[in-house]
């Protein structure tokens, strides 16, 4: 990987849901960089955010958010955590948002990649630099090879290869980043509900006897979408992913090294080892 940009002394984290914003904040602190969290109401964890300096913002408060980012001396900002795509009627209209409505409306027309790239351009016009996790916390990127004691066998590797082929083909359509393949059969593809819902769907299919393969076979494959802006929405796995894989009766997960994120890696790996699963980083 090429060297990333020199990061400013304080990094602004625009935080949605999940553990990833806090994993990045902790990684920044460990490197001597001050994180400042701009927590999005209704998404960011109100308990965990208290461990860091933060401000609360409502979804769509562009003017307030940009003022707060400047006031805290953040040149670099990173978007982290899950958020449901809003309807324009749900966006809080301060003056900064009103000025940005044409750009916001354009960003909402299209897939998630289009939305995220459009939002980043809005903040770049205000003079901020939008960076990715690879720039601010590269230690959270998935390494190549298995994190777990178990490694994928020949059958699992064949399933992984088929899953990667499918995701490459779907990439231009901006559909999803994950697929479940069992014994060469594609049984489920990620949709707007995300990976947790994908795994829950596989669990339900097993319960309904729609999947007849034995438990402990099959893989979850996660890869970035074709031509994806790697600053945003990288495939992410963590302890909850392992819970879903166990419930779905799969053998493990394969995800692209250097282009996927691992939240709470120690906890995730311990859970996977306890369950006898593999977690492996794939070469690009």
CA distances from 193 to 166, 190, 198, 246 (A): 19, 7, 7, 19
Using pLDDT thresholds of 50, 70 and 90, give the confidence band for residue 113.
very low
Over range 42-63, report the average pLDDT. 91
Top-level CATH class of 141-282?
alpha beta
Residue 1 has pLDDT above 90, yes or no: no
Using pLDDT thresholds of 50, 70 and 90, give the confidence band for residue 117.
low
Over range 203-222, report the average pLDDT. 95
User: Going by DSSP bridges, is the β-strand pair 219-222/252-256 parallel, antiparallel, or unpaired?
Assistant: parallel
Instruction: Report the share of the chain in percent with pLDDT over 90.
Output: 63
Residue 3 has pLDDT above 80, yes or no: no
Residue 84 has pLDDT above 80, yes or no: no
Over range 219-231, report the average pLDDT. 83
pLDDT, tens digit, 9 for 90 and up, residues 226-243: 766 777 778 899 999 999
Burial class from Cβ neighbours inside 10 Å (0-12, 13-18, 19+) for residue 123 reads buried
pLDDT, tens digit, 9 for 90 and up, residues 156-203: 999 999 999 999 999 888 778 999 999 999 999 998 888 999 999 999
Which pLDDT does position 2 carry in this prediction? 44
Burial class from Cβ neighbours inside 10 Å (0-12, 13-18, 19+) for residue 75 reads middle
Query: Measured between alpha carbons, how far is 54 from 64 in angstroms, rounded to an integer?
Result: 14
Top-level CATH class of 10-136?
alpha beta
Task: Give the number of other Cβ atoms within 10 Å of residue 100's Cβ.
Answer: 23
Q: Pick the residue with more confidence: 225 or 149?
A: 149
Computed over every residue of the chain, the mean pLDDT equals 86
List Cβ<8 Å contacts ≥24 apart for 86-90: 86/59, 86/60, 90/59, 90/60
Asked whether the beta carbons of 205 and 211 are under 8 A apart, the reply is yes
Residue 85 has pLDDT above 70, yes or no: no
Domain boundaries, the chain: 10-136, 141-282
């Amino acid at each position: 990987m090429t060297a990333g940009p020199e990061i400013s002394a304080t990094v602004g984290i625009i935080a949605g849901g999940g553990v990833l914003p806090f994993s990045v904040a902790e990684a920044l602190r460990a490197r001597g960089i001050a994180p400042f969290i701009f927590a999005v109401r209704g998404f960011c964890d109100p308990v965990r955010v208290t461990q860091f300096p933060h401000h609360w913002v409502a979804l769509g408060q562009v003017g307030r958010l940009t003022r707060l980012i400047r006031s805290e001396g953040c040149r670099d900002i990173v978007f982290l955590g899950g958020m449901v795509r809003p309807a324009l009627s749900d966006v809080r209209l301060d003056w900064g948002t009103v000025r940005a409505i044409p750009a916001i409306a354009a960003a909402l027309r299209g897939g998630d990649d289009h939305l995220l790239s459009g939002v980043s351009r809005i903040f770049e016009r205000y003079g901020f630099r939008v960076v990715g996790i690879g720039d601010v916390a590269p230690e959270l990127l998935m390494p190549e090879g298995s994190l777990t004691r178990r490694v994928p066998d020949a059958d699992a590797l064949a399933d992984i290869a088929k899953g990667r082929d499918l995701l490459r083909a779907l990439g231009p359509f901006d559909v999803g980043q994950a697929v479940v393949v069992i014994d060469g059969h594609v049984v489920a593809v990620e949709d707007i509900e995300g990976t947790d819902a994908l795994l829950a769907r596989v669990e339900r299919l097993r319960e309904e006897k729609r999947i007849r393969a034995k438990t402990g076979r099959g893989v979850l494959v996660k890869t970035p979408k074709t031509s994806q802006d790697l600053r945003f929405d990288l495939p992410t796995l963590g302890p909850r992913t392992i819970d879903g894989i166990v419930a779905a009766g799969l053998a493990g997960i394969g995800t692209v090294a250097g282009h996927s994120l691992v939240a709470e890696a120690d906890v995730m790996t311990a859970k996977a080892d306890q369950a006898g699963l593999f977690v492996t980083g794939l070469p690009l």
